[in-house]
Amino acid sequence: MYKVPFVDIPRHYQKIKEEILNTISDVIARGDLILRKDVEDFEKSMASFVGTKYAVGLNSGTYTMFLALKALGIGPGDEVITVSHTFVASIAVIVQSGATPVLIDVKEDFTMDANELEKAITQKTKAIIPVHMNGRMCEMDKIMEIAKKHNLIVIEDAAQSLGAKYKGKMAGSFGLVGSFSLYPFKVLGCLGDGGVMVTDSDELAEKIRLLRDHGQKTKTEIVCFGWNSRLDNVQAAVLNVKFKYLKEYIERRREIASIYTQGLKSVKGVNIPPAPGSDSDHFDIFQNYVLRAERRNELVSFLKEKGVETLIKDPVPNHWQKGLGLSGFKLPITERLADEIVSLPIYPELDEEQIQYAISCVKEFYSK
């Protein structure tokens, strides 16, 4: 038992238990299990929140990007540029579509280095997948400008960044497609797997709706081959309950990040993420609070002994994972970050005492 667990789903659940159970019971009593009103309601809320014309509920953030690539006809012979410093799904979808991933480096804030982008573009490049890591958006103005110049499609991997903004505009609303994960630990998570794509394109929204449901336009008309990758109606109903609290969840994450900043800013040995509000271009939602730490592995062991659970998400960069066959890339910042990064617990239910305790443990480690 950790004093400060890395995530705390039971505590989260306790706060909304009654509402969730009532909703699930209502959905089952109605018999509304697949693609019913709750999915439509969720899609409307999402589109309106992000500021796009459409949202389409899917079974995961992975399939959101995969179906987008399929719908856009990207496949063998094409190249898609993304980063290595991401959850492997951002790269996997490119490989699974049949296209070739081209990986570029990130900046010190863990987001795609737009200055590296143009160098990676070839005759074969069809799309860019910028990844808004940890709740912080990429420099989308620069990325969109380059994409426009070279006529490339942009699919934003916003799995970790629902509600984040860049220069006042929401994650997911810059590219042709925005992709979100609704995995339980995300800022808006359901009770299992889920994802949602957003777009302004009538054609693409319609195509993704078909692809998520085996190409069935109606019960009797099948217009193309597709997949089964629908968002469950019961998950959508749960998400509709949690949507009411989304802004609150984001505010609390930003509040916790401010407390971490206050506590850790003068600690020698750790590099902390930019504080909320410290730069007017970025509105970060702190899906993760990632430190760059000296003696990182020792710190993690020390915190574990003290009862503070941390996570090192990518100790080996994706392009160095032996099974993936991506070893041709040289990405100095990504490679260095893999040795430095560690995530501290951050979620709305963390209480003041836990946050201060985590801070005091980090301080104690670096005072030795």
Pick one of 86, 173, 233, 235: the residue that binds ligand PLP (CB under 6 A).
86
Alpha helix (H) residue ranges in 31-172:
37-50, 61-71, 89-97, 114-120, 140-149
Quote the least distance from Cβ 129 to ligand PLP, whole Å. Answer: 9
Total residues binding ligand PLP (CB under 6 A): 15
We find the least distance from the C-beta atom of residue 61 to ligand PLP, in angstroms, to be 3
Return the SS3 of 110. coil
What whole-number distance in Å separates Cα of residue 294 and Cα of residue 151?
42
Q: Is 82 one of the binding residues for ligand PLP (CB under 6 A)?
A: no
- Give how far the C-alpha of residue 368 lies from the chain's centroid of Cα atoms, to the nearest Å: 36
The answer to whether 26 touches 237, Cβ cutoff 8 Å, is: yes
Q: How far apart are CA 307 and CA 309, in angstroms?
A: 6
d(CA 75, CA 157): 18
DSSP tag of 231: P
Q: What is the DSSP letter of 137?
A: -
Q: What's the CA angle centered on 326, arms 75 and 323, to 5 degrees?
A: 100
Residue from 354, 325, 330, 332 nearest 92 by CA: 325
Query: Rounded to 5 degrees, what are φ and ψ at 199?
Result: -165, 160
- In the complex, which residue's CB is closest to ligand PLP? 61
Options 42, 87, 347, 365; binder of ligand PLP; rule CB under 6 A: 87
Nearer to ligand PLP, 61 or 348 (CB): 61
Take residue 134 and report the two structure tokens written for it.
Answer: 């940890």
Restricted to residues 166-185, the positions that interact with ligand PLP (CB under 6 A) are 181, 183
Pick 23 or 86: Cβ nearer ligand PLP: 86
State the minimum distance, in angstroms, from the CB of residue 190 to ligand PLP. 10
**Residues of this chain, 39-68, that bind ligand PLP according to CB under 6 A:** 60-62
Residue 111 sits at the vertex; the CA angle it makes with 56 and 334, to the nearest 5 degrees, is 125
**By the rule CB under 6 A, 286 interacts with ligand PLP:** no
Part in contact with ligand PLP (CB under 6 A); list of ranges 26-34, 144-152, 156-164, 297-305: 156-164
Give the binding range for ligand PLP (CB under 6 A) out of 34-42, 81-89, 120-128, 209-217: 81-89
131 lies in the binding site for ligand PLP (CB under 6 A): yes
For ligand PLP, the closer of residues 84 and 181 by Cβ is 181
- Under the criterion CB under 6 A, does residue 160 sit at the interface with ligand PLP? yes
**Residue from the set 27, 35, 55, 89 that interacts with ligand PLP by CB under 6 A:** 89
Q: Find the part of the chain contacting ligand PLP (CB under 6 A) among 83-91, 163-171, 295-303, 339-347.
A: 83-91
Choose the stretch contacting ligand PLP; rule: CB under 6 A; options: 155-163, 169-177, 295-303, 345-353: 155-163
Report yes or no: 50 and 170 within 8 Å, Cβ to Cβ: yes
Region 185-244 residues binding ligand PLP, contact defined as CB under 6 A: 193, 195
Q: Which two tokens stand for residue 214?
A: 């085996």
157 makes contact with ligand PLP (CB under 6 A): yes
Cα 56 to its chain centre, rounded Å, is: 16
Please identify, using beta-carbon distances, which residue of 199 and 318 lies nearer to ligand PLP.
318
Q: Based on CB atoms, which residue is closest to ligand PLP, 94 or 361? A: 94
Count, in order, helices (H) and strands (E) of the chain: 12, 13
Residues that bind ligand PLP (CB under 6 A): 60-62, 86-87, 89-90, 131, 157, 159-160, 181, 183, 193, 195
